Amino acid sequence: MDESRTRAASLLRRLVGGGRPRAERRVPRPSKSAVPLAHVDPGSPVRIVSLKGMPPSRSARLSAFGLVPGTGVEIVQRRPVPVIRLGETSLALSDEILEQIWVEAPERASEGSGREAAGR
């Protein structure tokens, strides 16, 4: 049996930092204009910037629904339970989860293209 492939060896490598280097994951940092999704008014389209402070198990479950940085979402309702819409999917989430999803207003590409067209 190859000792480098056992679970115990794998665990030991992670604990002492040996073995193959891990690929670094770049986690988007919220910009100064980012706010928690819990602070957004219903009907305002926003874009997810990060899932700040969320346990990996929870972020993995939400990513299965497409709730990842870069995704556009909208608050549909606040009461009786917060509901968000992303694409054709609607999700009911707790206020605690909404506090951990950082968003910002999407960039308005149509405004930029309108100025370019006017300058031509």
Q: What is the pLDDT along the chain (120 residues), one digit of tens a residue?
A: 555 567 777 776 776 665 444 444 444 456 678 999 999 999 999 999 999 889 999 999 999 999 999 999 999 999 999 999 999 999 999 999 999 999 998 875 434 444 444 444
How much is the pLDDT for 16?
67
Residues 6+ apart with CB under 8 A from 27: 50
Helix or strand run (H / E) with residue 104? strand 101-104
Cis status of the peptide bond prior to 80, with omega within 30 of 0: yes
- pTM of structure: 0.64
> Hey, what CATH topology would domain 28-107 get?
SH3 type barrels. (2.30.30)
